[in-house]
Chains A and B, each alone.
Chain A
Amino acid sequence: MRPTRPVGVVGYGVYVPRYRIAAKEIARLWTDGQGGVPVDAKSVPGPDEDTITMSIEAARNALARAGVPAERLSAVWIGSESHPYSVKPSGTVVAEALGAAPWVSAADFEFACKAGTEALTAGMALVGSGMADYALAIGADTAQSRPGDALEYTASAGAGAFIIGPATEALATIDATVSYATDTPDFYRRAERPYPVHGNRFTGEPAYFHQIQSAARRLLDDLGKVASDFTYAIFHQPNAKFPQAVAKRLGFSDAQIAPGLLSPQIGNTYSGAALVGLGATLDVAQPGDTIFVTSYGSGAGSDAYALTVTEGILERRGRAPLTEAYLRRQVFVDYGVYVKWVGKLVMG
């Protein structure tokens, strides 16, 4: 899919909380430290952080890079599966905080881990159709997980924010996209339930791998390209292993995915994962580099994008903290502090 008017990323911003918990610390509680762990550590939101606050900071970074006044945003769309309110948009709080209100479309998207890229595709359409010049798409999550569940090792927190604008102003053009969706219930959370459930190994082949491979291959075919034509690639990263495996199957090398592979350090930021990975990749990319991004959302579906970095990256990259600045300030907490902060402690 391509918009009528060429579009691109005019500003991007990333946010990752300061706190981490080591996967081994979680294993200490539940498996006596025996067995492997899917990541080294995951990010933990502080007690005053949620999808709204992380979205605000990522978006402020994106606005700083874009150099676009907030009131020129025509959309503030936030994809998450951990919106603080079930009913009442995160988008209005974020739009108000940024200074984008009141002449703005504000909405919340939900599609498990690809809610953020849903917003991105919608933003491409809004700008690409000529209806608006700038749209802000955010993927953010403070992911929930049942204590002791396999998800608890990885479900983490982070946000990526992208301002879509005309390709002529972009620091990276978005050249094409595809979306793929099927009814595949590998992971879900019923209304009113605190923690999601998942289908264990069913989350692998028919879910993650099938959806991502379908979307990615289709986009490569549409473009008439192969994996080696791209400088970098980012895949949704629920753990360390899956994105590396799917990259290999599609013909991408370890070096291509290295800058955007953050799950070993920060876990799975859910709706943020592919977008934070893209942000980290833009942090190191040079003009002319090409980037292949494929998200994944349980339920299930996948969005794939092909980007080309422009000269604009050089001047705008330094206007906000790089992803590395957020990764570097890591402070590890123990399981007690972790459960206190993420609401797993019964406070009465």
Chain B
Amino acid sequence: MEIARHWRQRGARYRLEGQRSRSTGAVRFPAQPPALGEELNEWELVTLSGRGEIYSFSVIRQAPDGYDAFTPYPVALVRLAEGPLVSAQLTDCAEGDLAIGQSVEMATRLLVDGGADDVLVYGYKFRPTIQ
């Protein structure tokens, strides 16, 4: 059980909250601590659109502990509309449905179920765009 570790990620995982640079407008995801030499308030929170396209993808058939119930499952690097890459699972698709460049959208899904006495961990996945 890692209750607090999941809880503190809820903005990023549930809403795709990233950061935007106040000086350049650049967007990054996930949020990072301020780098050396940066003003403490250089980066402001921004909720990303959840739209993007597949940069690359893979279907995992040998899974880590905790992911057996989902196996096989697709993962991808997604180029978000705001610019950053994000790695995530894909959902609601089979390998044959996928191609690099395809447009995808965020869905909030169950990421992992640690068992009957653990918290359910929800977060972003991506799927082929519905509309």
Contact = CB atoms under 8 A, between A and B. Distances in A.
A contacts B: CB pair < 8 Å: yes
Given A53-B110, A85-B120, A48 B70 contact: yes
A97 B92 CA distance: 20
B63 to A, nearest CB: 12
B120 A49 contact: no
A325 B131 CA distance: 8
B93 to A, nearest CB: 9
Nearest to B89: A48
A48 B130 contact: no
A345 to B, nearest CB: 9
Contacts of A47: 69-70, 110
A224 to B, nearest CB: 41
Interface in A308-348: 320-321, 325-326, 329, 331, 340, 347
Given A53-B108, A57-B107, A84-B120, A96 B70 contact: no
Q: How large is the interface on A (under 10, 10 to 19, 20 to 34, 35 or more residues)?
A: 20 to 34
Contacts, number: 55
Interface in B1-43: 10, 14-15
A48 B15 contact: no
A46 interface: yes
Nearest to A55: B108
B79 interface: no
Interface of A: 18, 46-50, 52-53, 56-57, 84-85, 93, 96-97, 99, 320-321, 325-326, 329, 331, 340, 347
Given A47-B69, A93-B122, A99-B15, 4 more contacts: A56-B108, A84-B120, A320-B131, A325-B131
> Which are the 3 A-B pairs with shortest beta-carbon distances?
A48-B109, A97-B14, A48-B110
